[in-house]
Structures are given as C-alpha cells and as structure tokens.
Structure 1
Amino acid sequence: MDAVVIGAGHNGLVAANLLADAGWDVEVLEATAQPGGAVRSGHITAPGYLSDLFSSFYPLGYASPVLRSLRLDEQGLTWTHAPDVFTHLLPDGRAATVNRDLTTTMASMEQFAAGDGERWRRAYEEWCAASPHLLDAVLGPFPPVRAGLRLARRLRAAGLLRLARRVVLPAREMGRELFAGQGGALALAGCGLHTDLSPDQPGSGVYGWLLAMLGQEHGWPVPVGGSQRITDALVDRLRARGGRITYGARVTRVLTARGRAMGVRTADGSDRRARRAVLADVPAPALYLDLVGASRLPPRLAEDLAHFRWDGATVKVDWAVSSRIPWRNPAVAGAGTVHLGADLDGLSRYATQLAASEVPRRPFLLLGQMTTADPSHSPEGTESAWAYTHLPHRESWSADEISAHVERIEAVIEDHAPGFARNVVGRHVFSPADLEEADPSLVGGALAGGTAAVYQQLFLRPVPGLGRADTPVDRLYLASASAHPGGGVHGAPGANAARAALARDRRVTGGWYHAMIDAAHRSVYSP
C-alpha cells in the first residue's frame, strides 16, 4: 500500500481522505473497536438519551477550511444550532449571552456597562476584518506564508502589529481593554478556559477572542444526530474512495531503515509495508518514544520530549434529565453551552489551584445542553446534558476522589438550577482514566494533545523545531493534536500531515523539499 495511517481519530481520517483523494492506496489502523477518537456519540445515561461522549460543539469544525473542503454534507452531515450560542453565568445570577444575532448579544453586554454593546460590535468588526484569512493562517502549515501574505494585505502593517499584540494578551487584560463591564470580559475569559490557560497567562486572550467571535459569526453548531455523524461522514467518504480501516489493530512499532519509515508492526506481530508514508494520529510522546524509539531519534529530540507538557486532566459527567434544566435565570435556558461557577477572579483562582496541583473546591464548569441544541438527543421536554471540569494532570485518581468531585460539580449546578438533581434519571461519569481507556490519545484525561501555553505552540509544538508535520524520520508524519495547530475538531493536523506527505512524494519538489526539512532538523537537533 502507499500509506499507513495510525489511528482513526478525526485527524487520522482527514489525512486518509486527502491521501485517497490523491489516488493513494491507504489503510488506517485503529487500536480500538471503533473509529472517531474523541468524536463519538452513544447512549450511556438512560434509554432514549443520546450523549456526545467527548467533544460536542464545533465552531472550529464548522468554520474549518479543511472540513469544508471535504464536503461532508454529501455524506449526510448536517448542522443545527441552539437558540443562544453560549452564556456565562456569574455567581450572582447575571448572565452574559452571545447570540448569532449581533443586536441580541449587544443588548446582553450592555446590561453590564453602558456602551459595552457598542464595544462588542467594534470588537466583532475587528474580527471580521481579519477572519477571512485568519483561519487559513491559524489552521494551515507553519509558517503560514500564503495566508499570512493575504492577511498582511488585508490589515496592513499597523493592523498586523495590533493583531500580534492581541495574540499574546492574557484574557483578563484583553477584556479590560475592550470592555468596561464584566459581561464582555467574561465571555472572552470563559472561552479561554476551554484551554488549560489561566485568564492571566499570555496567549489566553486570543483563544477566548477566537471562540467568542467564531460564535458571533458562525455560532457553535452541533451535528444533527450527534458528534458521531462527523466520524460516520469521514469513514463513509474514505471507503467510497477505496480507503480501508482495520479495527483492533494496535500499532507497536514504526518500522524504519536508513532513517526512513518503511511501515508498521501491529500487536499481533504482522507488518504493513508503506511505500510512500506513515502518518500517526497519536500523541507526540507515544509516536517518538514508543513507536519509533528513543534510540532511533536524535538525542536532543528525546531530551526535548522530557519537557513536553500535557494539558489538564478532565472529569466529564453526562446526565439524562427528565425535564429541562430549571435555571434560576431563564436567560440561560436557550444556551447550547453554559460557562458556570465563576466570575473573572474566580476563573483566576480556579486556574491557580490547578497550576498548584490542587483540586478546586468550587470548580468552573463547561456545561452543554444537547437537546436544546439538537432535539434528537432526548425526548421532548427533557434534556441530555453534560458538564466537564479540569483537575491537575497526575498519574492516577481514586474512585473516592472522583466521586467527591462529581458532588462538587453537581452542587455548582444545583446552586444555579434548584431541583436539577431530583430530575436526573441517569448519570455517567468519565474520570481521567476512563477517558484514556475509551480513547488512548486522551492521556491522563488531557483533551488537547498537549498544553496550549505559548511555549508549546507554533514552531515549538510539540517540541522546538519546525512546527510542521514532518519528523526527523523521512516519510513519517505527526498527524495528531500534538502537532501544530493543536487541539480542537478542525482536522488541521491531519490535513497538514497529508499535505506534507504529498509534497515529499512529488518528484518535481521532492528533492529540495526533503533537503530543506533535513537541514532544518539538523540545525535544531545536531549536537
């Protein structure tokens, strides 16, 4: 065969589809019994209640040039929206809500400070000036030469400098600069907490700005029928183009000779030869240290991997609720996603406790109302809901520790929605270990393939180097969220790996391309 793809997560499936589009013979080897990685659905709480097992709302997936180019609508993928995009619910009961209708969002922000509605509009207009080319630059290979040039022409020098400054701002400082009240600032900071960054860390603001403004522009849609529909569409598309997926095929070794990837070996001892490329949708430490082996790597790369940092561990709870959630503030009822349990100072305290390896006594929650977003998730008048929060990343958690934290999670919801607990008719808990067992790429319950901190982004992801899918092993490519641009369901790491493999294989460019990559790796990893 031409290529082997290790892992049938969404990035692996995107990579396989793009290679199949180019006429390559592709096989995907998946260690578990089903595809999708962290993009899957199932009935785990009560009969008739569908849960998205891991990821749920997809602003990046909906807007992603990568996924759009695959035309998954032709495989039956359709999207739907909750009435409101998201709401940040403050401890005092006030709610800052983003709606796809700009005037509705402005009215919500205006409640917190006179003029903040207009300030939100201006922030959104600044986003719109950059967004046509910004996503291409963010999600494409690094460095983003073509998209960067288009963005430069659009914004000019002064606009680029302001954008560069915004990229490194902490979320707290960005909120202070853009808004007079807490509403707009919390909308940004709460979105920033979808990563593992504190509102006070450099770079946290850009994540909040990106997600909040994507919500204003596109919403945070969900696939009709659950997140599994994204995976099903990718699988169906690949099979229609001759690609194959083999399940229960755990890869234990990338086979190399003379510095080049030749294929893989699976746990049953069988070998797959790959004439053109091996692409790995697995975490970077697993690829380099387990599948390739430190002895086959430049010594400095192995040393750098010792400093690779995961994002935080995660506890996720799914509920089947026999009614809609009884929020004290009815403004929350229409939100697909609810940020719950903290004001701006509370977000900072929560993040500081995690950084100090402490268990937050009052966790900040991301809560999803799935039936509100897609009525097919549960019977009419009920709710299929979930919430997750982070814990420090560590080796293990006892059942008692997880149970105690689930009580804290439910107490936060009960404070804002009295009667919630008595309407729960089914519950399922994913501890960090449960998440990793269900998807081996979610190491220790880390959702993003590594920290979003600036020291592990762009050309520093996963370790100092090119920030590209290419590896020091010829024809071996990293296609997971551990590669640039990182976590999220947008397909960019898989697409970048496929494009790198195709570029390496083209005769007209193969010689200089491979020489350039080799020279770059030597400059980084030579003694």
Structure 2
Amino acid sequence: MGNKYDVVVVGAGHNGLMVAAYMAKAGLKTVVLEKNPWLGGATSTTECTLPGFKHDLGGTMHSAIQGNPAIAHDELGLKRKYGLRYLYPEMSAANVFEDGTSITFWHSVDKTCEEIARFSERDAEAYKRFIDMAMPMFPLLAAGMYSAPPPFGQMIAQFDQSPVGRELIRFLMMSAWDVAQQWFTHPKVLSMALKISTEAMVGPEEKGTALHMLLGIPFHHIGHAGFPEGGSVELPRALVRCIEANGGEVILNREVVTIKTKGGRAVGVATADGEEYSAARAVITTVDPRVSLLKWLDTPLSSDLQGKLNRILEPLFSGLMQAIALEEAPKYNVEPWSGANDAVVVEPLPSSVTELRQMFDDLRYGRIPRSGFAPFVVVPTKIDPTRAPHGKHVLYLWHYMPYNLENGGHDKWDEVKTDVADQVLNAFRRYAPNVTDENILGRFILSPNDYPKWNANLVNGAIVGFGAYLSQSYAYRPIPEMGQYRTPVGGLYLCGTSTHPGGAIIGGGRATAQIVFQDLGIDFDDVIDV
C-alpha cells in the first residue's frame, strides 16, 4: 500500500472528523476518507434553494454536544483556535397550538411552570415535581454519554444501588405515554411531553421510550441548544482545520469498498478508484456496520455475529425535510405575551393528545398522518443572520414520515413527496399564515427515500441511525459484542450513529478515541487541551 498512515478513518461526518482530530492531536498520522464531495455527513449546510441562503439538510440543533468536553472544555481548541462559534437562543423551544395558545420551554423551570399554569395549575405543580424527580436521574443517564458505556448489566447493577437508580430502572421499562399520563392531565401538556420523547425516532407508546422523556425534558433546563454561526457545517469545518493543523488529511471523493485484514487485524482499506491506504495502528469506520462489517470486510465475521447485525431493528419512522428560503420569518397566531415569535425552535402541536397519538399510529403502519401534522420548525436566521441575505430567512420544516409507505413502499415517495410536502406546509400555515407562496422564495425537499440517496449512511432513511430502542442503546449498540467500539477484528473500531450514544449531534467520536488510545497505550489526558 503506497499511502501509509497510522490511522485511517472512514467517513467525514462530525463523528469521524472528531475521532480523527483526537488521533491527529496525539501525533498519529491520520487520514479521513469520505465518499461524498462535501464535508459533514448529516451535519452539513448547503445553498440548495437560492444563492446566499444556507440550509442545514441534516442536524441543525447542536444540543447534546454542548455537554461534550470536546466543546464544553474545548479539548481540541475548536473554539479557541479553529473558528467554531456557537450562538445560544434565550428560550429552548416554543410549542404552539392552533387556537393561538402556546407553551414556551424557558431555561428557568419556574418560568416554564408559569406557562403551563395558564392551562393547568395542577400540571404546573406536577411539572415542577417531575423536574425535581428527573434531575437526580439525569446524571445517571448522561454519565456515559461522552465516553464508552459500561456493560449493560453493570450499568443496571449500579443503578440498583440507590433509591433514585431503582426508580430509574422502573422508568426504563415504561413508555413515554405511561409516564406522561401518570404525571400530567391537560391534553396540551401531555402533547408537549410526548413529542419530546419521539425525537430519537421512536413512538411515544413503545416500551423503553420513557428514557427519552427523562433525558429530553430536563435538558431544556440544564443544557443550551447551540447553533454554529454560518451553519451546522461549521463544526465539521473546524474539525478539519484541527486535523490539518496537526498533520492529518481529509480526502473527499474517496469511496471505501474494502476493509483489508491480515492475521486477524485490520491493516487498511481499498477505495473504488483502486487506491489502497494502509493503517499501522487502527482503522475506524463510521459507516453502518451492516455495510462496513458485512459488505466491506475481506474476512467474514462469524455467522452468529452476522445474524445479530442483520437482525438490528430500524427506527419506527424517518422524516420529510423542507428547506425554505423566506422573504420574512414566520409569524405565529399566538397571544401577545407568547414567546413563540422570538423562538428559533417552534413545535406546532394539535390541541388534542389523541390526534398526536393517532399520528404516530399512522406512521407505524406506513401511512401519511391522517389526523393532522406536528412539524418541527427551526428558523436559525433569527439568531444567525449570516445564513441568509440581509433581512431574509431560512426555514427548516421537518416532519416524521414512514420510510416504507403502506401502498408502494419507499419508492412511492418519488411520486408523492411534493404533494405530502405541500400538505405539511399547508398545515404549518394554520399556525403561521404569513408563510404564503409570495413569502417563499425557494424550496428544496428531501423525502425519506431521498435521504439515503443524499447520504448513503442514512440506511433505509434512518436519519439518526438504526432504532434507538433500549435494546439497541448504551453497550447494546449496535450489538453487545461491539458495544464498546471494538470489533472482533483487531485494530478495527466502530464510531458514529451506529454506536453509543447514537444519532444526533453529540460528538460520539470522542468516546471511540478514548478506547483506541487505551488500546494503543496513549494517555488521553496527555492529548487534550485543558
């Protein structure tokens, strides 16, 4: 192999770039190989509607990564040295209803309770008690978020050592709906609580989804969702600057097709153009293991491991994304005191929790929701005017959708995506009537079937990786035998959405780096800038 490196990383999404940045910073000769002609994977930004309008096509909110020491402690110098700048909105999100009412999530619990009290004093008091109950659980759930998870049995045994932990174990076996109806009664508060639990692409009535509610609701009051100035891609760009400053390389338009092994160890990769890249110390793949381990590996895994990987469960649904260039920002039909018109993130919700539950039932059976829509809306130009020409705005309008339609499967999306996108847009106009055809300057649509065409690693339209069920979380992600990033092949490691902590913009590459350093005898603390 003519291209000789210590470490070869496959995939230039933010996870691959992050693990590569740690490798390069440790003095290891590192290269990142990316199939696409652009950076960032699902953390990318493009002018897909009109020149000057910068749209995030994948992840747009950088929430969970704010607690990652890579950002919180600036371990790689991304903020101090490499140009990454986060902007933080005052409010976390606003939930708006068709009747003009709204509930805003403020960072202050008391202020949020005041919002809820307008609908139900009882639920406002219950929300405060829920936060008091959930806050001690949050550190237990988040403890391993940015490092390798302990074995699952060990984690449960640790939880079982305290009353808080034992209550947490009980919650982990429940659905979000189970928990929500134990605590809240008002339909609007129930809708708000349920929607939070679905952001990992799981249905609110799936057992084990209370986990996402226990993480999601407290995070509104613990963390801050950040938006990189200039678009989501500014995180990958800062990581590339860090890699290159430390002697590493990032090569685009290099499609890996083979992971080469010798004597039971990974020794490099081969690309579609016939190039080979040797790896003296490690190969790290961020590509779905059902591709990288079952299709690329030149030495087959055992039939048992192949079977387990092939039985991985997909998420309940995918999504339909609309990137829209606007003349003016959405104006919501809400009471004058509402914070919705100042919010960067808005979630329109049905006033009836039954409608919301029926929407998720439709998704389960491959149907376009019949009971109504509940889109996820982000207008990042409200906090970052650099993303559009002066005075203009970009709108990220996203909605859960099934990957396989009941009649026609996933290919049917090519026929119906514009019609379904129009349905979602028209439903959104009931909340924000100024988003008229005259206000829309340009629109770009990604359907569930478009996602894997845009980014092949979004297998079956799974935008946050395969299903985030409890059975596929923590050290069981992707499977127990590989839950700490190591594979049965020496020197071959997993990274990215297929591993803990899963999808979203979290910076999971840091955890993989810790394991690789441990195996190579490198002290992690000697590498970082703190």
Whether the TM-score (by the shorter chain) exceeds 0.5 is: yes
SS in 1 for 2:430: helix
- SS of 2:426's partner is helix
Q: How far has the Cα of 1:100 moved from its partner?
A: 1.8
Q: Deviations over 1:117-155 (max 9, x none)?
A: 33333333444434456423233212179x969986xx9
Does the residue aligned with 1:254 lie in a helix, a strand or coil? strand
Query: What amino acid does structure 2 have at the position aligned with 1:357?
Result: G
Aligned position for 1:491 = 507
Q: Give the alignment partner of residue 343 of structure 2, picking from 308, 315, 335.
A: 335
Q: Structure 1 pair 363/397, CA: closer, same or farther in 2 (3 Å)? A: farther
Contact 1:82/1:374 (<8 A) preserved: no
Contact 2:403–2:449 under 8 Å retained in 1: no
Q: Partners in 2 of 1:406 and 1:289 — Cα distance?
A: 35
The 2-side partners of 1:383 and 1:156 are apart by 51
Residue of structure 2 in register with 1:415 after alignment: 430
Distance 1:305 1:176, change over 3 A: same
Cα distance in structure 2, aligned partners of 1:171 and 1:198? 9
Q: Does the aligned pair in 2 maintain the 1:324–1:381 contact within 8 Å?
A: no
8 Å contact kept, 1:3–1:27: yes
1:232 aligns with 2:237: yes
* 2:78 matches 1:72: yes
Match of 1:393 in 2: 403
CA-to-aligned-CA distance 1:238-273 (integer Å, 9 cap, x gap): 111111111111100000122211110011112111
Q: Is the 8 A contact 1:142 1:466 kept in 2?
A: no
Counterpart amino acid of residue 45 in structure 2: S
Map of 1:46 onto structure 2: 50
Q: Give, in angstroms, the shift of residue 176 of structure 1.
A: 2.1
Q: C-alpha separation between the residues in 2 aligned to 1:28 and 1:225?
A: 23
Give the counterpart letter for 1:336 in structure 2.
V
Change (3 A) 1:202 1:65: farther
Find the counterpart in structure 2 of residue 165 from structure 1: 170
- Greater share of residues in helix: 1
If the length of structure 2 is used for normalisation, what is the TM-score? 0.88
Residue of structure 2 aligned with 1:376, choices 386, 403, 409? 386
Partners of 2:294 and 2:374 in 1: CA distance: 34
Alignment partner, residue 105 of structure 1: 112
Measure, in 1, the Cα distance between the counterparts of 2:239 and 2:432: 38
User: What is the aligned partner in structure 2 of residue 462 from structure 1?
Assistant: 478
CA distance in 1, matches of 2:244, 2:147: 26
Question: Which of 404, 415, 419 matches 1:404?
Answer: 419
Shift of 1:407: 1.2
Is this contact kept in 2: 1:82–1:335, CA < 8 A? yes
Aligned to 1:347: 356
Residue deviations 1:345-385 (CA, integer Å, cap 9, x gap): 22321222122122223333111121223233235554311
Match of 2:527 in 1: none
- Distance in structure 1 (CA, Å) of the matches to 2:180 and 2:149: 28
2:323 aligned with 1:318: yes
1:94 aligns with 2:101: yes
5+ long unaligned stretches in structure 2: 405-409, 524-530
In the other structure, the counterpart of 1:522 is none
Q: 1:132 and 1:458, CA in 2 relative to 1: closer, same or farther beyond 3 A?
A: closer
CA distance in 1, matches of 2:157, 2:386: 41
Specify the SS of the correspondent of 1:45. Answer: coil
CA change 1:81–1:182 in 2 (3 A) is farther
1:273 aligns with 2:242: no
CA distance change for structure 1 residues 148 and 334 in 2, over 3 Å: closer, same or farther? farther
Letter matched to residue 476 of structure 2: L
- The CA distance in 2 between the partners of 1:151 and 1:323, in whole Å, is 52
Return the alpha-carbon distance in structure 1 between the equivalents of residues 363 and 328 of structure 2.
33
Per the alignment, residue 284 of structure 1 pairs with 289
Please state how far the C-alpha of 1:28 moved relative to its aligned partner.
Answer: 0.6
User: What is the distance in 1 between the residues matched to 2:120 and 2:454?
Assistant: 45
Q: 1:452 aligns with which of 447, 450, 468?
A: 468
Aligned with 1:400: secondary structure?
helix
Residues in 2 aligned to 1:296 and 1:63: alpha-carbon distance in whole angstroms: 38
Aligned with 2:518 (options 498, 503, 524):
503
The AA in structure 2 aligned to 1:190 is K
Alignment correspondent of 1:513: none
Q: Provide the C-alpha distance between the structure 2 equivalents of 1:507 and 1:495, rounded to a whole number of angstroms.
A: 14
Shift of 1:445: 2.4
Q: 2:191–2:349: 8 Å Cα contact kept in structure 1?
A: no
In structure 1, stretches of 5+ residues that fail to align are 509-527
**Is it true that 1:22 corresponds to 2:42 in the alignment?**
no
Q: Give the deviation of 1:179 after TM superposition.
A: 2.8
Q: CA deviation at 1:66?
A: 4.1
Distance 2:189 2:293 in 1: 42
Q: 2:453 aligns with which of 433, 437, 453?
A: 437
Residues 361-372 of structure 1 mapped to structure 2, 5 A cutoff: 361=370, 362-372=372-382
Secondary structure in 2 aligned to 1:73? coil
* Larger mean Cα displacement after TM superposition, 27-36 or 322-331: 322-331
2: CA distance, partners of 1:291 / 1:103: 53
* Cα distance in structure 1, aligned partners of 2:460 and 2:142: 30
Identify which range, 496-505 or 278-287, moves more after superposition. Answer: 496-505
1:196 matched to 2:201? The reply is yes
For residues 320-367 of structure 1, what are the alpha-carbon distances to aligned partners after superposition, in whole Å with 9 as ceiling and x for unaligned?
A: 121221211153212222222434322321222122122223333111
After TM superposition, the structure 1 stretch with the greater mean CA deviation from structure 2, 9-18 or 76-85, is 76-85
295, 298, 303: which one pairs with 1:299? 303
Distance change (3 Å), C-alpha of 1:243 and 1:151: farther
Q: What SS is found at the alignment partner of 1:242? A: coil
What does the per-residue CA deviation read over 1:31-52, in whole Å, with 9 as the maximum and x for residues that have no partner?
1112211111122223332211
- 1:523 is aligned to none
Map of 1:62 onto structure 2: 66
Counterpart of 1:520?
none
Per-residue deviation, 1:206:
2.1
Which residue in the other structure is 1:254 paired with? 259
**TM-score (norm: length of structure 1):** 0.89
> Which whole-Å CA distance do the structure 1 matches of 2:320 and 2:100 have between them?
25
Q: CA deviation at 1:164?
A: 2.1
Q: Give the letter for the 2:105 counterpart.
A: V
The answer to whether the 8 Å contact 1:263/1:272 transfers is: yes
Q: In structure 2, the residue corresponding to 1:46 is in which secondary structure?
A: coil
The alpha carbon displacement at 1:18 in A equals 1.5
The residue matched to 1:412 in structure 2 has which SS? helix
User: In structure 1, how many angstroms separate the alpha carbons of the residues matched to 2:391 and 2:210?
Assistant: 37
CA distance in 2, matches of 1:358, 1:128: 37
Deviation at 1:110, TM superposition (A): 1.1
1:144–1:214: structure 2 CA closer, same or farther, 3 Å change rule? farther
Deviations 1:40-93 (A, max 9, x none): 112222333221121111210112234433342112222223342112223444
**More deviation, 168-177/378-387:** 378-387
SS of equivalent residue, structure 1 residue 502:
helix
